[in-house]
Amino acid sequence: MASLTIKNAVKRYGNVEVLKGVSIDLRDGEFLVLLGASGCGKSTLLNMIAGLEDLTEGEIMIGDRVVNDVHPKDRDIAMVFQSYALYPTMTVGQNIAFGLEMRGVPKAERALRVEQVAKTLRMDHLLDRKPAQLSGGQRQRVAMGRALVRDPEVFLFDEPLSNLDAKLRLEMRTEIKRLHKRLNATMVYVTHDQIEALTLADRIAILKDGEVQQLASPAEIYEHPANMFVAGLVGSPPMNFLDITVEAGEAGPAAWVTLRADGADKPVLLDLSAHTARLDGYVGRKVVMGLRPEMISQGTTDAGQCVQCEIDVTEATGADTLCVLNWNNQEVLARGTSGYTKILEGTMDFTIETERACLFDPESGLRLD
């Protein structure tokens, strides 16, 4: 196993700059997830690590070896493709053994290692089938087996679960997590599914238009997003953004929010005194307040400021019920009680945890710190 260092990687296709100086540092055995919307350069970066694309500028190191000019096969990397890329004319066994065969591993040892891997992935009964005779999940497993059998320094996954149905995706996600724990290998995993990113990663790198927006642990990314893009991308349902104007209140900064309650608009002064230091110099200016749905909970507690407001619509998702509220003529999602037990309607009490709110500069989109 080895560490992986990407220094200021730039990729240009003609005039188009697809990656604009990406720097990422991976510890030995770390699980990094690259998260971003379609077309932001995730696959390009992965292909560059694998050596399937050249860097325009910058450097990639595996361990303490610069691999810019090293052929893909000599980088000791295994990759699982989104399309699985199984060799259609070979059986599962031959598919898994192909990499070993090309590296001149003797036949007896090949058979032994294929068998071991097949056992780990619980597919020993599939070894004689052709890829066309497998289900999506089984193909996915073969693709993993092909990577595992080589025992490489670094594993790369390019959206390996995106072709599977929801249930299987969940299963395979757990399997990958388990695998990482057992092998303790360095892994880079590309996805555009934020749940996958949050559950799998040691650290997440969020990419947008070829630039890293934030590189941090899932908790950090969730609790302290670096900017509005990250805040909006991570979390489901997404974070609410409220445009507010900061005023000087009695205890510190505060802001007026118009809530709808009992059929009338009612202005309420939200106390932002927990953010006094952060809002220094922002009095009289506009900022964006980011509130996750679970920061607006139903009922009166002493976790934050209590307000009364009218529920517009409720959406029961099973685990919990989401309430759509109307603040400042914007839709705001709140997390209501769990389960279907209570019907929520009319005007009710809500507690807003203003302390945990994120505040962003509306121009730069950066979080105020």
Partner 1 sequence: MLTRPPVKFIDRIARALPQIVVAPGFAAILYFVYGFIIWTGYISLTKSKMLPNYTLIGTRPYERLFQMDRWSVAIENLFIFGFLFVFVSVIVGCLLAVLLDQKIRAEGFIRTIYLYPMAISFIITGTAWKWIMNPSLGLEKVIRDWGWESFRFGWTVDNNLAIYALVMAAVWQASGFAMALFLSALRSVDQDIIKAASLDGASPWRIYLRIILPSMRPVFMSAMVILSHLAIKSFDLVVALTGGGPGYASTLPANFMYEMTFRRNEIAVGAASAMVMLATVAAIMVPYLYSELRGKKHV
Ligand X SMILES: Nc1ncnc2c1ncn2[C@@H]1O[C@H](COP(=O)(O)OP(=O)(O)OP(=O)(O)O)[C@@H](O)[C@H]1O
Q: Using CB under 6 A as the criterion, which residues of the chain lie in contact with ligand X when the complex forms?
A: 13, 16, 18, 36, 38-44, 192
Whichever of 155 and 327 has its CB closer to ligand X, that residue is 155
* Position closest to Mg ion via CB: 43
> Are the C-beta atoms of residues 132 and 86 closer than 8 Å to each other?
no
The site partner of 132 among ligand X, Mg ion, partner 1, none (C-beta below 5 to 8 Å per kind) is partner 1
Min. distance of Cβ 106 from partner 1 in angstroms? 15
CA-to-CA separations, 30 to 186, 190, 212, in angstroms, rounded: 5, 14, 18
The site partner of 81 among Mg ion, partner 1, ligand X, none (C-beta below 5 to 8 Å per kind) is partner 1
Applying CB under 8 A, does 132 fall inside the site for partner 1? yes
The site partner of 60 among ligand X, Mg ion, partner 1, none (C-beta below 5 to 8 Å per kind) is none
Tokens of 10: 């730039």
Can you list the alpha helix ranges (DSSP code H) found in 159-282? 166-183, 194-200, 218-223, 228-233
CA-to-CA separations, 70 to 54, 61, 298, in angstroms, rounded: 10, 10, 58
Applying CB under 8 A, does 180 fall inside the site for partner 1? no
Applying CB under 8 A, does 78 fall inside the site for partner 1? yes
Task: Select from 24-32, 77-85, 207-215, 303-311 the region that touches partner 1 (CB under 8 A).
Answer: 77-85
Q: In what helix (H) or strand (E) does residue 40 lie, and over which residues does it extend?
A: none
DSSP letter assigned to residue 275: G
**Amino acid in position 203:** R
Applying CB under 8 A, does 103 fall inside the site for partner 1? yes
The binding site for Mg ion (CB under 5 A) comprises 43
Distance in angstroms (rounded) separating the CA atoms of residues 249 and 260:
22
Find the angle CA(38)-CA(40)-CA(41) to the nearest 5 degrees: 110
Q: Which backbone phi and psi does 208 adopt, to 5 degrees? A: -145, 125
The site partner of 41 among ligand X, Mg ion, partner 1, none (C-beta below 5 to 8 Å per kind) is ligand X
Residues making contact with partner 1 (CB under 8 A): 47, 50, 52, 72-73, 77-79, 81-90, 98-99, 102-103, 132, 146, 150
